Amino acid sequence: MARVRVKFGGPECLLNSQIAMTLLSYDPSCFRKLLCLSPNWHYLVLEGMDLLFKPMEVAFTNMYYGHLLFKSSYTNSSVILSGGRPSIRVDRILKCEVLPNRAHLDKCLRISYAYKVLANNGPLEEGPSQRRRRNKA
């Protein structure tokens, strides 16, 4: 018997991230379960999340390029109760640095950015909504 060596991710991988994202589109609550299946599945799910959130990250970066410098991003998940039953919340955390800008001197910059994906057990993409408020210190 010939041994088959499977590499995590990349072109030689037997699975691709689209398979993981298709499974998540039908049952988002299995996010953490897929991460625990194997190192390969862990890699595929996180790679799929990177591809899924890329348009949102690009839109955020383009909107606030004069105020913030995008550094990195990662995915975080937590268990929540929704409708009296356990569900999962998946957040994309964007790490940014405030740019040295005279407009920010002695002021507070508060930014929020909402984006829905995979809502109601179906792949629903809703355009980004944003709110920006500056308060004087």
Domain boundaries, the chain: 17-136
What pLDDT, on a 0 to 100 scale, did the predictor assign at position 118? 53
What pLDDT, on a 0 to 100 scale, did the predictor assign at position 126? 42
For 23, the token pair is 């499974």
CA quadruple 120, 123, 126, 129: dihedral sign: positive
Task: Provide the H-helix boundaries in the chain.
Answer: 17-26, 31-37, 39-63
- Give every CB contact of residue 128 below 8 A, 6+ residues apart in sequence: 56, 59, 60, 113, 114, 115
Q: Are 71 and 97 in contact (CB under 8 A)?
A: yes
Q: Are 115 and 52 in contact (CB under 8 A)?
A: no
What pLDDT, on a 0 to 100 scale, did the predictor assign at position 125? 43
What pLDDT, on a 0 to 100 scale, did the predictor assign at position 71? 92
Instruction: Report, as ranges of residue numbers, the positions in the chain whose pLDDT lies below 70.
Output: 1-2, 4-14, 115-137
What does the alpha-carbon distance between residue 52 and residue 74 come to, in Å, rounded to a whole number? 12
What pLDDT, on a 0 to 100 scale, did the predictor assign at position 122? 43
What does the alpha-carbon distance between residue 4 and residue 114 come to, in Å, rounded to a whole number? 44
What pLDDT, on a 0 to 100 scale, did the predictor assign at position 132? 42
What does the alpha-carbon distance between residue 62 and residue 123 come to, in Å, rounded to a whole number? 24
pTM of this structure = 0.63
What does the alpha-carbon distance between residue 48 and residue 90 come to, in Å, rounded to a whole number? 13
What pLDDT, on a 0 to 100 scale, did the predictor assign at position 55? 87
What pLDDT, on a 0 to 100 scale, did the predictor assign at position 120? 52
